[in-house]
Structure 1
Amino acid sequence: MKKSPKHTRRIPLFLLIYLLSMPLTAAEPTAHKPIEPPQSMVHGKVTDTEGQPLAGVNITVESSNQGTISELDGSFTVQAAPDDVLLFTMVGLKPLTMPIAGRDVIILQMEEEVTQLGEVVLNAGYYTVSERERTGSIEKLTSADIEKQPISNPLAPLQGRMPGVYVQQSTGLPGGDFKIRIRGTNSLRPNGNEPLYIIDGVPFPSTAITDSRVGSASVTSSPLNNINPMDIASMEILKDADATAIYGSRGANGVVLITTKKGNTGKLKFNVHLQTGTARIAHNMDLLNTEQYLQMREEAFANDNAVPTPANAPDLTVWDRDRHTDWQDELLGGTAHMNNVQLSASGGNAQTTFRLAGGFRNETTILPASFGVKKINGSLNLNHRSLDGRFNATVTANFVHDQSDMLSGLLLFPALKLAPNAPEPYDENGDLNWADNTWSNPLAELEKKYKSSTANLITNAHIAYRPLPGLELSSALGYNTLSARESQYTPHASIRPSYRAFTPRSANRNTSAVDTWIWEPQITYETALGKFRLTTMAGATLQKTTAQRYVVNAKGFNSDALMENFQAATTLQIYEDSETEYKYQAIFARANLSIDGTYFFNLTGRRDGSSRFGPGRQYGNFGALGAAWIFTNERIFGNGTVLSFGKLRGSYGTTGNDQIGNYQYLNLWSPVSQPYQNISGLAPSRLYNPNFGWETNTKLEAALDLGFFNDRLMLSAGYFQNRSSDQLVGLPLPGTTGFTTVQSNLPATVENTGWEFQLTTKNVETDNFQWNTSMNLSILRNRLLEYPDLENSPYASTYVVGEPLSVQSGYRYTGVHPTTGVYEFEDVNGDGFLSFPDDVQVLGDLSVDFFGGVQNTFQWGGLGLEFLVQGAKQMGTSAAFTFDPPGFLSNQPIEVLDRWQEPGDVANVQRYASTYNAAAFTYYDLLVSDYPLVDASFLRLRNVSLSYDIPLPSRAKIGVRCYLQGQNLVTITNYKGLDPENPGANQIPNLKQYTLGLQLNF
């Protein structure tokens, strides 16, 4: 803090008057020392408006920038002159200045800071901006929202809370993946739509480093599972061009900024957070019981004029016809358990603060085995600033290590498709029951072994120095290492006995690591002249990412016990042994101009260089312009109480995209699949093409922000248009070249448009009771705007110009023929046959039409209640898509009872078939028709949190908070499958969870 000009003038003026008033005969001194005002000790106490003492308040003497911190009882002592001014500050409270005015004792109260737009600070990555002055589209989630959900992945709390951000959980098993799309799908490449993740300034991988060739039986893991949600202070989502352009090509699909918690000033504080919970599948599908199932099977054989035998129908001829097992309960009906312990300590003074935290989390599964994920975490944050406030340094480190033996949802299909009279899984000796080799025992999958160990370390150091007022020089250096080692074993115990003779034991192993370091120097200058305030910034980015992967397969073990020793295998095959390097560098600049706190202009420019492009194509220029006008500052609006705030904002700009993988422009040679005379050779597998360049994303947005009744009601509405062109996908080649495609920029353009609405209200706000509501709604439209010569490309049957990328094309289903009892489809060309592609039509799409959420928060004294309802309007794939043709040796949804039985019947399901015949093959035509496309819209009570702050006397010096949380408690939907969020019944659904928690602060 600078010295007050007021006080630096008063002392010399006092001396001048004193000297002029002395008698002329007095002897004049030969030298003078500055006369310091007398200093004395000032004592005091700081309390809140209810008289409770406040600890950790910063008290600063304005003239000297020296100060102290209030004690636990709110008391303080500071040395100051009688005419000094004290400044009192504390996070969450209104700053307060208090003249000493000659007093020795000062007692004062500090008020809570009522959140206003200008006081909500948003992290935009390289800079911060207030909610009031922002020109870009930025959404924020705080730790208060994150901690109200018993989650292990930071993306989970985003569901239903932010407009334009759709998050989908892929599985209900622990450690599963999440899919996030920020304002839609931009790229034709499935792996080209991930956002950029930045954690404390360090880029973080968006794709898992586990390998499907090894972990085919494991859960597809999200790398963000290696971030502890309890350590997160806030998450910001950058969406439009103005917000993302500062990240250049890396921000083409949006940016997710994660900031971890830091220490606070004051005495040493401890926090203990304990959680325990359970989870189960919310509901089962309605399937046939034993009586209905056997009736279906017998009718199928009668329709085919076939005779059941032990070979083709053990369920009818061998197995117990009176036995009934609900395989959904048997295989998926378990209870998963979760335990979480987190400890932290923080404290510090006005110059140095710290936070040290660590914890342990254990999650099990609903599967009938002791699988699960164990995770330990630790974090450290140190922050120091000099006495004069010119120098600041911050060091952060976050570490997570997890171990998993979590098998995937391979038991899902047996749970749905096994005959209800299938044999007992275990015999009287407790061994797997193979029932004389008449079935594949589903619990044999549990004999497979999978184990993985993943470690993640993120470190960052940031220093800043202010040599002159308004000028700041800073530098950030970050490092992230993410490593994984996983193994999968398929012993003979997991193989059906009749298959063991020709199915050897096998084991796969993957060792992978991704190391990233980044250095970003930066200079910022801020100046003000009258009504104008200009902030400029320039910087550079140097980033390098190195990835290693070693994947090997071993076969021919003599015993299940030797499978962890690959030297005991007779055959070793290296699937991959690679090391790749990605280099990225950029320079960027930003200028922000504010005029009278009413008009705001933000100009951003960036030049990026990527090693993923060939010589001469490695660099791209990107930029954006954002502007905002707070029109309620104009005189015409006066000080109206109805419309208290109004702002128009907009942005336009371009970003790039280089998410194509490394070395795609180079020739690639791969080992031949069949060695000749035991000598392995090489064959070309990719052509050289250095001429393709950046995929370009152009973004446009216009928005209106309004506040009513002193900002108690805030409304935001925005429209955006994103166009992604120069698509980086395969260019089709003639078969005579020996290649089907070559990497290139296709002249295709994908467009995403949409409306986003957000409403927040303070419904009731009294001293004892508060009720707040937040609502958001997103209406999105995705389409392939143009694709020249699409009909002659490899994507002719995948995409349609003018339709969404998720468009579904196929046959148009017309019903069951009343005479033949077989499904029928529309014959477009009228030739009397069902042919591809002549009879293929556009049927619909699987994109989300609109989604949103409603959150209500109630606070009555120490009692708090919050619930979030999430909804989505979408089409999905019917769960029937998972099942075999009705009549096969496979259970079915109960809807198949409405089937054709005799000529003249009007039914929804064709006649049953027992084997592959004309009716069965027609069933597979049905699966590529519009029949499986169903309404998968849902309304879900995503989260409920009930908490209570236990009142204790102040002398206890401890705060106690207990809570009960629920996840996925109620789902309203017409979808017949397990989970409308993941339609198709090919994943374990999201689980219904209950969590009990206890938080101690002392």
Structure 2
Amino acid sequence: MKKNQMSLGYLKMSLVATMVLSAYAQGQERTITGTVTANQKPIEGVLVFQEGNDSVAQTNASGHYQLKIKGNNPVLIFKHPDYSETRVEVGKLSTINVLLQKEKQIDEVILNTGYYQVKDKERTGNIAKLTNKQLENQPVINVLSAAQGRLSGVSIVQNSGAPGGGFDIQIRGKNSLRPDGSYPLIIVDGVPLNAQNNSISSLSSGILSKGESSPLNSINPNDIESFEVLKDADATAIYGSRGANGVVLITTKRGKNQKLSAELLLNTSVSKVNQFITFADTPQYLQMRKDAYQLDNIVNYPATAYDVNGKWDSQRYTDWYKKFIGKSYLNMQQQLTLSSGSTQTQWYMSIHRQEQDTPYGKDFGYQRKGFNLNMVHQSVDQKFRISPTIYYTLQDNNLIDRDLTAQIILSTNAPSLYTDTGALNWENNTFDNPIAKLENKFNSQLKTFSAQVNSQYEILPKVLLKLNAGYTQTLQDEERLNPSTAYNPNLNYTSTNSIIYLGNVQRNSWIVEPQISWSKEWKEHRISTLIGLTLEEKKDHIQRLQGSDFASNDLIQNIANARVQKVNEDSRVQYRYSAFYGRFNYDYSGKYLLNLTARRDGSSRFGANNRFANFGAVGAAWIFSKENLFQENEGLRNFLSFGKIRASIGTAGSDLIGDYQYLDTYTTGTLLYDGVVGMYPSRLYNPNFSWEKTTKLEAAIELGFLRERINLNLSWYRNRSSNQLVGVPLAATTGFLSLQSNFPAKVQNTGLEAEFSASIYKNTSFKWEVSANFTLPKSKLLSYDNLSSSSYASTYVVGEPMNIKKVYEFKRVDPTTGIYQFSDLNGDGKLDSNDRQKVVEIGMKHFGGISNQFRYQNLSLSFLVQYVKQKQYSMDYNLSLLGIQRNIPTYMLNYWTPENTDAQYQRPSTGGNSEALTAFSRYNASDAVIVDASFIRLNNVQLSYKFPLNSKGIESLTLIGQAQNLVTITNYKGLDPEVNGLYLPTMKTFSMTAIIKF
């Protein structure tokens, strides 16, 4: 019994001793030293730490480190952003030298989806990306110009050649019945743009096509690191109601882990308007005018027919196209970029200035200047990261208040613009001198300030807490001056007739998005999840003022000096938006990918009954090239090195209807009752007003051949938009014409997209790469109940595309009467508006582009060819009646006369023939004015050479020569196959750039 007690006591003592020795062993610290190298060079800034321990060391310039560790079986981890993570078991070693050999693959493209990043090969959605190499150093103001022809499924159309103008961008077609319902969401560094249009259309109309100015004019293309477009449901559903029309993500440049680097860019370019059409000369023009009077049976020319009655010189000829918009002009750009950084902190700053003149001469032109400043900082242990960004841009656009392009059809023998003394020529009051209209000026000044911060903290292993927040302010001032000096002095107009129009818009918006994400890997499984919250608010204050009757024109720019002052608009608009979203991604064995996305949105644009809506999507992909069939067959693997099939389905929504549309509103009247201004109801209340919804479906295959030297992606998509927000007609007895409501109309967009890229040849000194894209879009109105009684009855047809026009069917010119003839489509024996039933599709049928890049050592050559197959309105649509005092294109000289009965155009008339007038009106509403406007354009050619200097503080000098819109091949009868109407066509630009790197 005593022996057992002694044994028990000994056991206890042994156990205690073992625990003490174990604790001592675990707590004993020791120092590990070593050197980290790669490619036989020391690596600075490598983080070295023990797994499960907070202490961190960092290698110095010699690659040396020193770290204290403790515990049994310690494991060291070596991390550097340019190399793969390396793990080493310490054992009993005290010196550990590490060779980092496996660098990150340069072809491992990382795509930004806004809320998370994904490797290009592992994405389940459709995301297109352009890098800064494809966008920078081009002689353009807007990044959309540089992106034209480079992206499948993305249609980008420039509205006008005027600087500071707008662009139409559509991602996979038009989903809404309303023109303003198909804008994509554009986000810059995590902050949405706070407007779709940065101009007041009532002031800029007639100057800028559609009265629009692109908000992306405020972003310097040279500051952009990447331009990504999210298309399908899997990619856009996480943006919920904002992603129905696609999402554009723009990321600006960041600093790098390098010593201080400075770069100076100097650019000078010369631009000239493209010309695709010629006009009649003086003999041709005068003959047309004389034929018009003769066929109208007018023998004696009227006193106002100055071009043919002898008042104007019949031998004079002026090329008004060249005179008004044909002049070459200079553009200049300067940018200074500074960047630097260490492993923990990198920063980037750019200061830029750009000037673009116009063919109008004088002081008309566009200026942009501003700066971009950002920083990325992370803690030594890499658990905390913060990235603030600030950019500011000032745009000053000084233009004539009417586009002079409309003046190119003046009579060819009209008088000179100036007298011999240099004064404006009014030719004895017979000539309304268009140059006088240069006194009518339009100025737009736009200040854009944006501040954004993105931060994250690893609160637990693989658990990240993130916050994205941003604020944007836009201050917009527009001024339109119409002084009395713009009119013929013989009208005796004085400053009392002068008018000023002012517009002021102040936009403030903010966004806050907290987010938490978690990821885990085990064996062949990998999971990543995130949940987040979006809170957003926009406030607009819009004022439009008008002043007239000034004491002097010197005071016209101060509305306080106007004796008559009027407030045309004073409105305040508030928009609030909130959302809760989540994502779950599962990856099994790197072969099978599943992505689930959900979002619940709330918008202030809807009534309380339908303020919130749910959206979501599921995407899946199978990387079949990782199956054993390929991995075990080297020949097959070398031929088809990558193969993936992916598909997605989901819903997104839209609230692009404007604010307060569901409320009953009242408008002040212009009449007084007993000295009091009255009000009248202008909109009916509709609490059931709700979201448009788009269901997106996609299937795609991605293939890489010959170790991915050749890549081919094919995608098919179908988007169906329902619950359309339209005006439902009401009976006139209600006092309202319509009620804003959701209507069970359904719009479908389908299409095929193809993307091809290849590395044709590559060695140490020469490389040739080619890429191409093709898009075949189709749209259709699937259903619309009682369409014939709606406001869209003359716009759409069920079963037909969305981009149709209902027109008369043109037959011919009657050889007997010389009058246009049209088909009696309803067969009632007469021709009227009921015969305007022929459906003609207008717009793009398919489009694409192909680019080539050649590089030999420091010499680089690249070019981009863009093509569009489309139908548009011809020049005829924008011209007046053939025969009046306006010039015509040469192709219209084939008009009817008794000697030319087989003509393309009807008899000219001065306006005195009612049949000719009626036929002309119907002609402009017929299929005859919708013509083929397809074109192939050599969009950009760039040749550059880099001179490595490495002396006197200058590292390199790069010279770049390029041409924009160099050659356009088209059969289009009009000013420009891209720009519609009598607006300034696109420009041909030759540019020279010098980039000095210090």
- The reply to whether TM is greater than 0.5 is yes
Partner in structure 2 of residue 351 of structure 1: 344
Deviates more, 1:119-128 or 1:944-953: 944-953
Partner in structure 2 of residue 454 of structure 1: 446
Deviates more, 1:145-154 or 1:646-655: 145-154
Candidates 363, 375, 386, aligned match of 2:368: 375
Candidates 719, 722, 725, aligned match of 1:722: 719
Partners in 2 of 1:86 and 1:951 — Cα distance?
38
Partner in structure 2 of residue 625 of structure 1: 618
1:368 Cα shift?
2.8
Change (3 A) 1:384 1:88: closer
Q: Secondary structure at the match of 1:132?
A: helix
The 8 Å contact of residues 351 and 385 in structure 1, kept in 2 or not, is answered as yes
Partner in structure 1 of residue 875 of structure 2: 879
The 8 Å contact of residues 812 and 843 in structure 1, kept in 2 or not, is answered as no
* Structure 2 unaligned regions, length at least 5: 1-13
Partners in 1 of 2:922 and 2:670 — Cα distance?
33
Partners in 2 of 1:293 and 1:833 — Cα distance?
35
Change (3 A) 1:678 1:978: farther
Partners in 1 of 2:559 and 2:886 — Cα distance?
38
Q: Secondary structure at the match of 1:636?
A: helix
Partner in structure 1 of residue 821 of structure 2: 824
* Aligned partner letter, 1:899: Y
Partner in structure 2 of residue 607 of structure 1: 600
Partners in 2 of 1:425 and 1:97 — Cα distance?
80
* Aligned partner letter, 2:793: A
Partner in structure 2 of residue 256 of structure 1: 248
Q: Secondary structure at the match of 1:535?
A: strand
Partner in structure 1 of residue 267 of structure 2: 275
Partner in structure 1 of residue 865 of structure 2: 869
Partner in structure 1 of residue 7 of structure 2: none
Partners in 2 of 1:561 and 1:463 — Cα distance?
53
1:806 Cα shift?
1.7
Q: Secondary structure at the match of 2:545?
A: strand
Question: What aligned pairs does 1:423-822 form with structure 2 within 5 A after superposition?
Answer: 423-497=415-489, 504-638=497-631, 639=634, 640-675=637-672, 680-822=677-819
Partners in 2 of 1:111 and 1:275 — Cα distance?
40
Q: Secondary structure at the match of 2:259?
A: strand
The 8 Å contact of residues 137 and 222 in structure 2, kept in 1 or not, is answered as no
Partner in structure 2 of residue 197 of structure 1: 186
Partners in 2 of 1:758 and 1:389 — Cα distance?
38
The 8 Å contact of residues 857 and 866 in structure 1, kept in 2 or not, is answered as yes
1:450 Cα shift?
2.0
The 8 Å contact of residues 121 and 130 in structure 1, kept in 2 or not, is answered as yes
Partners in 2 of 1:833 and 1:582 — Cα distance?
52
Change (3 A) 1:588 1:611: same
Change (3 A) 1:183 1:57: farther
Deviates more, 1:869-878 or 1:365-374: 365-374
1:311 Cα shift?
1.6
Partners in 1 of 2:530 and 2:467 — Cα distance?
13
Change (3 A) 1:531 1:97: closer
2:152 is the counterpart of 1:163: yes
Partner in structure 2 of residue 13 of structure 1: none
2:909 is the counterpart of 1:913: yes
Partner in structure 2 of residue 139 of structure 1: 128
Partner in structure 2 of residue 291 of structure 1: 283
Partners in 2 of 1:97 and 1:967 — Cα distance?
51
Change (3 A) 1:109 1:367: farther
Partners in 2 of 1:907 and 1:310 — Cα distance?
31
Change (3 A) 1:387 1:953: closer
* Structure 1 unaligned regions, length at least 5: 1-19
Deviation sequence 1:28-56 (CA, Å, 0-9, x none):
999789555556675x88669xxxx89x8
1:651 Cα shift?
0.5
Partners in 2 of 1:66 and 1:488 — Cα distance?
64
Change (3 A) 1:84 1:766: farther
Partner in structure 2 of residue 992 of structure 1: 988
2:886 is the counterpart of 1:890: yes
Change (3 A) 1:172 1:94: farther
Candidates 916, 922, 925, aligned match of 1:925: 922
Partners in 2 of 1:192 and 1:884 — Cα distance?
33
Q: Secondary structure at the match of 1:755?
A: strand
Partners in 1 of 2:225 and 2:319 — Cα distance?
45
The 8 Å contact of residues 446 and 494 in structure 1, kept in 2 or not, is answered as yes
Question: What aligned pairs does 1:119-138 form with structure 2 within 5 A after superposition?
Answer: 119-138=108-127
Partners in 2 of 1:423 and 1:112 — Cα distance?
73
1:933 Cα shift?
1.0
> Normalising by the residue count of structure 1, what TM-score does the alignment of the two structures yield?
0.91
Q: Secondary structure at the match of 1:583?
A: strand
Partners in 2 of 1:550 and 1:956 — Cα distance?
53
The 8 Å contact of residues 711 and 758 in structure 2, kept in 1 or not, is answered as yes
1:129 Cα shift?
0.4
Change (3 A) 1:497 1:688: farther
* Aligned partner letter, 2:46: I
The 8 Å contact of residues 94 and 111 in structure 1, kept in 2 or not, is answered as yes
* Aligned partner letter, 1:233: E
1:226 Cα shift?
1.1
1:106 Cα shift?
8.7
1:637 Cα shift?
2.3
Q: Secondary structure at the match of 2:324?
A: helix
Partner in structure 1 of residue 213 of structure 2: 221
Partners in 1 of 2:400 and 2:194 — Cα distance?
23
Question: What aligned pairs does 1:270-419 form with structure 2 within 5 A after superposition?
Answer: 270-306=262-298, 307-407=300-400, 410-415=403-408, 417-419=409-411
Deviates more, 1:197-206 or 1:755-764: 197-206
Partner in structure 2 of residue 242 of structure 1: 234
* Aligned partner letter, 1:860: Y
* Aligned partner letter, 2:716: Y
Partners in 2 of 1:129 and 1:255 — Cα distance?
16
The 8 Å contact of residues 264 and 346 in structure 1, kept in 2 or not, is answered as yes
1:409 Cα shift?
5.7
1:629 Cα shift?
0.5
Deviation sequence 1:849-907 (CA, Å, 0-9, x none):
10000011111100111111000111111112121122110000111221211178211
1:486 Cα shift?
1.3
* Aligned partner letter, 1:841: Q
The 8 Å contact of residues 511 and 535 in structure 2, kept in 1 or not, is answered as yes
Partners in 2 of 1:734 and 1:811 — Cα distance?
30
Partner in structure 2 of residue 3 of structure 1: none
Deviation sequence 1:297-345 (CA, Å, 0-9, x none):
1111111111213323444421111110000000001223221111121
Deviation sequence 1:909-954 (CA, Å, 0-9, x none):
1111122422133112111011101100111011111111113347
Q: Secondary structure at the match of 2:382?
A: coil
Change (3 A) 1:928 1:107: same
* Aligned partner letter, 2:964: Q
Deviation sequence 1:400-451 (CA, Å, 0-9, x none):
1111212366211111x10111111112332221222223211122111222
Change (3 A) 1:335 1:637: same
1:681 Cα shift?
2.5
The 8 Å contact of residues 315 and 419 in structure 1, kept in 2 or not, is answered as no
* Aligned partner letter, 1:293: Y
Partners in 2 of 1:31 and 1:431 — Cα distance?
102
* Aligned partner letter, 2:290: E
Partners in 2 of 1:87 and 1:408 — Cα distance?
64
Identity %: 39
Partners in 1 of 2:989 and 2:674 — Cα distance?
58
The 8 Å contact of residues 943 and 968 in structure 1, kept in 2 or not, is answered as yes
The 8 Å contact of residues 68 and 78 in structure 1, kept in 2 or not, is answered as yes
The 8 Å contact of residues 209 and 512 in structure 1, kept in 2 or not, is answered as no
Partners in 2 of 1:498 and 1:889 — Cα distance?
22
Change (3 A) 1:164 1:108: same
Partner in structure 2 of residue 179 of structure 1: 168
